[in-house]
Amino acid sequence: MSIKILLVDDHAIIREGLRSLLEKQPEMEVIADTDDGRKAIELVRELLPDIVIMDITMPGLNGIEATRQITAEFPDVKVIALSIHSKRRYVADMLSAGATGYILKECLFDELVQAIKAIAAGGRYLSPRITDVVVSDYVKRLSTSADSPFEALKTREREVLQLVAEGKSTKQIALELHVSTKTIEANRRQIMEKLNIHNVAELTKYAVREGLTTLET
User: Whole-model pTM above 0.75?
Assistant: no
3-142: CATH topology: Rossmann fold (3.40.50)
What confidence category does residue 181 fall into, taking pLDDT thresholds of 50, 70 and 90?
very high
- List, edge to edge, every strand of the sheet that includes 28-34: 28-34, 3-8, 51-54, 78-83, 101-104, 125-126
Distances (CA, A) of 205 to 114, 201, 215: 45, 6, 10
| Domain range summary for the chain, segments of one domain joined by + | 3-142, 149-209
CATH number of 149-209: 1.10.10.10
pLDDT tens readout for residues 36-71: 898 999 999 999 999 999 998 887 788 888 999 999
User: Is the Cβ–Cβ distance between 127 and 118 less than 8 Å?
Assistant: no
Cα(185)–Cα(84) distance, integer angstroms = 58
Does 189 score more than 70 pLDDT?
yes
